[in-house]
Amino acid sequence: MRGMVATELGLCLLLLWCGFSRGRVGLRVYLSSWAVRVPGGVQEAQRVARKHGLLYMGQVIEGGDYYHLEHRGVKQQSLIPHWGWHVCLKKEPTVHWFEQQTLKRRSRRTVAAVPTDPWFQKQWYMNNDVTPDLNVLAAWSRGYTGSGVVVSVLDDGIEKDHPDLAVNYDPLASYDFNDNDPDPQPRYDVWDQNRHGTRCAGEVAAAANNGICGAGIAYRAKIGGVRMLDGPVTDIVEARSLSLRPQHIDIYSASWGPEDDGKTVDGPGTLSLEAFYNGIVNGRGGLGSLFVWASGNGGHRYDNCNCDGYTNSIYTLSVGSTTESGRVPWYNEACASTLTATYSSGGKGEKQIVTTDLRRRCTSEHTGSSASAPLVAGMIALALEANPALTWRDMQHLVMRASKPAHLQASDWAVNGAGRKVSHHYGYGLLDAGDLVDLAKKWTPTRPQQKCSINVIHKPLAIGSRLSVSANASTCHGEKADILSLEHVQVQLSLSYSRRGDLAISLTSPMGTKSTLVDVRPYDTSRNGYKDWSFMSTHYWDEDPRGTWTLLLENKGDAYNTGFLTHFVLKLYGTDEDMSARRAAAWVVSECVRRDADGTCQECTSPFYAFHHLCLSYCPPRYYNHSRRSRDPSAPSRTVQTCAACHFSCYTCRGGTANNCTACPPFSAYDEPTRSCSQPIRTYLPHGGNLFHGPQGLLLLIAVIVLCGGPVLLGVLCLTHRLWHLRGPWQKRPDPALGSEAAILELVRCNHISSEEQRKELGQRLLP
């Protein structure tokens, strides 16, 4: 028996080899894809697939006998048929018919790329119904469907047994932090309130060609869900969600945040900040986790996503929305931190997003900025498949470059100093998946991030009706202070003001680009001003920072408004490379010549280096180029070029030890003589302790209770409950069409404390 299996395997291998050496005889383009007819049913088809190392891709026509199998590890397209598998499948008695899929060259875009799913024709933003659409068909036609990439949707759960999600469902990318168990299944109720995560997940990775619903953008990516919004949200819950398996999950998609009520100024707590830092420094083997964020649904309340510390973080890729006709949707929040935009719902009569729905259904009514972020998560999954060596910053560079103003309408389009059009509604415009994967294949890594902080004012300045403050960035003293091209720019401010929402703040770069950091927010009547709040702008990307920056504060309300600016730090991030001089050249990614049994590439053609399962013309950060002897027994003297891992303390290096570093990761300092990196030092640690936290806090609490008794106890409990709860009902960003009121969970009212007191406490608590 064993002998027979061995001979059979040997024969198959021989034929596989024969298949490769038959030469280029055919005119057809063969794909790594097979159609088989197995009347024995799904399980038999899956068994056959497993036996021959093929991937089972599902049923071709619902209820039929045809199944889609794929082989991995071999070229996506080939001019010769695969005789090896041909013979292997022919020997299977339960396989009645099979055919390797081919392309007709002239029509291959459409033939190969268009999924057969019944709802695909409704997916107007992907199927070319609008011009331009997200150009996903182009990315698919180049062979990118998200294989090998893992995405997790942080939301109210995921229906893991939804027939259109089940094949891509990844339990390792999932968790339930509301109930503390590994099962992220949503909680069902009569209103289907917890359908949001399942809808977002389908946009990313609903399976294709299985006869169910439509197709996800990365329809072969692995998809997981974290259930974290269906219950009290704490800093711990957020941080655990954002840091779930950062070596396994590549992309985190989040469509939630502080309430989009036009008056909140709030952001991540200590632990969530730590989770972001940990993600970008250590996630994905040190290349950095990718966090995609919905910009917010508070447009109709004049909210500004720069008052939301999640979307305005430099570590998140923040996504705005546009309607079918290219207009600003009524819910869209404008702000300078938005990088890109995708389609979503609009007003009455405009189309919405088509995806999977709770209770194994499909929907064509997914809406809001919530729907835009997962589309970007799917598109960057395609880019990551094209080039898995991209860092979190590379991806932001690419997304910026692959976004197009197209026909998107806004009154504020302006050309920045790098010659690109940018708007507060859409960032750099509509993301194009075809361009994104093409750029990914040609992108060489950005050099290490440089940071430079300028502490601009040294004594409080009266704001009055207008205050303009200039900073000379030529005097910038950063860790290296060698920024030739900008990436993110942050303005950290502390100020007092009689009515916060009346103050409009803008920043103008030396190259003359003016970006609005926050505009008038009529609902924001707070008297607390801003306390070390960091505004962020992406509008200066690739500009030269040298010269004079001007911050402008303007009173747009009552003439009696007053306040003082007490703190202004300008933080510039970028690189010491002149990015405008970059010319995208040849492809930096190429096919592997020889792999080991796990699919890890063993050999590349010169001048490429083996990296994971493919070949790169460079080694990314965290790796160095390394020559070693070939492990191929037939050619032991040959040398093989590979990317070998740096010591974990280095960002870039020339060898594998801790004193071969050439640059350090963020928050770590370089020591020139020893060529090593220090332990990470974080200077961010925020704003003192919170009320009644830690052992002293507990003692104080007990003392207060003992001394003051009942009413105070009640007051304190009520206050802490309110504080705790406020962290809690983070608003999902769903369904603005249903009225956002429905989604805002009513806060617990506390009658023992005057609203003025509450505001004071909250001001201290919430402004990091």
**Which residues participate in catalysis according to the annotation?**
155, 196, 370
Q: Are 413 and 422 in contact (CB under 8 A)?
A: yes
Choice between 84 and 621, CB closer to ligand NAG = 621
Q: Which one, 129 or 576, has the nearer CB to ligand NAG?
A: 576
Nearer to ligand NAG, 454 or 723 (CB): 454
H/E element, 471: strand 466-472
> Closer CB to ligand NAG, residue 314 or residue 481?
481
Q: How far is the CB of 544 from ligand NAG (least distance, A)?
A: 14
Cα of 439 vs its chain's centroid, Å: 17
3-state secondary structure of 682: coil
Q: Closest approach of Cβ 306 to ligand NAG, in Å?
A: 27
Packed helices 235-242 and 270-282: angle between N→C axes, nearest 10 degrees: 10
Q: Which is nearer to ligand NAG, 318 or 676 (by Cβ)?
A: 676
| Among the residue ranges 218-226, 375-383, 590-598, 655-663, the one whose residues contact ligand NAG (CB under 6 A) | 655-663
For residue 462, the minimal CB distance to ligand NAG (Å) is 23
The CB-of-470 to ligand NAG minimum distance in angstroms stands at 8
CB-based contact 469:461 (threshold 8 Å): yes
Please state the closest distance from residue 461 (CB atom) to ligand NAG, in A: 18
Residues 6 or more apart whose CB falls under 8 angstroms from that of 640 comprise: 602, 603, 604, 610, 627, 628, 629, 630, 631
- Cα diameter, the chain: 93
Any bridge partners for residue 629, and if so which?
639
DSSP type of residue 684: -
Segment interacting with ligand NAG, rule: CB under 6 A, options 56-64, 341-349, 444-452, 654-662: 654-662
**Interface size with ligand NAG, residues (CB under 6 A):** 11
* CB-nearer residue toward ligand NAG: 625 or 690: 625
In the complex, the smallest distance separating the C-beta of residue 625 from ligand NAG, rounded to whole angstroms, is 4
Nearer to ligand NAG (CB atom), residue 312 or residue 446: 446
Contacts of ligand NAG in 458-477 (CB under 6 A): 472, 474-475
CB of 474 to ligand NAG, least distance (A): 4
Shortest CB 603 distance to ligand NAG, Å: 15
Residue 137: name the closest of 149, 147, 124, 150 by CA: 124
Shorter beta-carbon distance to ligand NAG: residue 270 or 625: 625
Residue number, 81 or 656, with CB nearest to ligand NAG: 656
Judge whether 679 and 665 are in contact, CB under 8 Å: no
Binding residue (CB under 6 A) for ligand NAG from 101, 525, 660, 690? 660
Nearest to ligand NAG of 602, 662 (CB atom): 662
H or E stretch at 66:
strand 66-71
548 sits near ligand NAG (criterion: CB under 6 A): yes
User: Of 14-22, 46-54, 421-429, 657-665, which segment contacts ligand NAG by CB under 6 A?
Assistant: 657-665
List 655, 666, 686, 763, residue binding ligand NAG (CB under 6 A): 655
Looking at residues 571 to 630 of the shown chain, list those that interact with ligand NAG (rule: CB under 6 A).
625, 627
**Subset of 89-148 contacting ligand NAG (CB under 6 A):** none
- For ligand NAG, give the closer residue by CB, 364 or 472: 472
Q: How far apart are CA 620 and CA 600, in angstroms?
A: 17
Which of 602, 617, 657, 758 is close enough to bind ligand NAG by CB under 6 A? 657
Give the length of the chain: 768
Determine contact, residues 256/155, Cβ cutoff 8 Å: yes
Query: Distance between CA 186 and CA 647 in Å, rounded?
Result: 41
Between CA 477 and CA 721 the distance in angstroms is: 44
Q: Which residues 146-205 are close enough to bind ligand NAG by CB under 6 A?
A: none
Stretch that binds ligand NAG, among 82-90, 162-170, 656-664, 694-702 (CB under 6 A): 656-664
- 654 near ligand NAG, judged by CB under 6 A: yes
Cis peptide leading into 607, omega within 30 of 0? Answer: yes
Q: Which span sits near ligand NAG by CB under 6 A: 219-227, 270-278, 392-400, 649-657?
A: 649-657
Nearest approach in angstroms of CB 471 to ligand NAG is: 10
Interface segment toward ligand NAG; rule CB under 6 A; list 94-102, 181-189, 653-661, 676-684: 653-661
The site map against ligand NAG for 422-461 (x = CB under 6 A) is: ----------------------------------------
For the bound state, the minimum distance from the C-beta of residue 678 to ligand NAG, rounded and expressed in Å, comes to 17
The b/e string for 48-58 (b: 16+ C-beta within 10 A; e otherwise) is bbeebebbbbb
Q: Considering only residues 94, 278, 508, 659, which one is a binding residue for ligand NAG as defined by CB under 6 A?
A: 659
Cis peptide bond prior to 118, omega within 30° of 0: no
Per-residue CA distances from 288 to 250, 251, 252, 489 (Å): 8, 10, 11, 19
Question: Stretches 331-339, 355-363, 652-660, 742-750: which one binds ligand NAG (CB under 6 A)?
Answer: 652-660
Quick one: 525 or 660, whose CB is closer to ligand NAG?
Answer: 660
Which positions from 621 through 640 interact with ligand NAG, judged by CB under 6 A?
625, 627
Which tokens sit at 358?
């709770």
Angle, helices 755-766 vs 710-727, to 10°: value is 50
CA dihedral 689, 693, 699, 701 (to 10 degrees): 100
Pick out residues in 479-518 that bind ligand NAG (CB under 6 A): none
Question: Mask: binding to ligand NAG, 10-39, rule CB under 6 A, as x and -?
Answer: ------------------------------
- HSE at residue 455, side-chain half, CA atoms within 13 A, is 6
674 part of the interface to ligand NAG, by CB under 6 A? no
Residue pair 281/311 in contact (Cβ under 8 Å)? The answer is no
**Of the candidates 169, 193, 195, the residue with the CA atom closest to the CA atom of residue 183:** 169
- First CA to last CA across the chain, in angstroms? 69
Alpha carbon separation from 180 to 105, 174, 189, 196, 273 (Å, rounded)? 51, 11, 20, 20, 22
Minimum gap (Å) between residue 482 Cβ and ligand NAG: 15
Amino acid letter, residue 409:
Q
647 binds ligand NAG (CB under 6 A): no
Instruction: Report CA 279 to chain centroid distance, whole Å.
Output: 11
Provide the CB-side half-sphere exposure for 709 (13 A, CA).
0
Q: Where are the alpha helices (DSSP H) in 614-754?
A: 694-708, 710-727
Q: Rounded to the nearest whole angstrom, what is the least distance from the CB of residue 652 to ligand NAG in the complex?
A: 10
Apex CA 294: angle with CA 293 and CA 297, to 5°? 155
Interaction site with ligand NAG (CB under 6 A): 472, 474-475, 548, 625, 627, 654-655, 657, 659-660
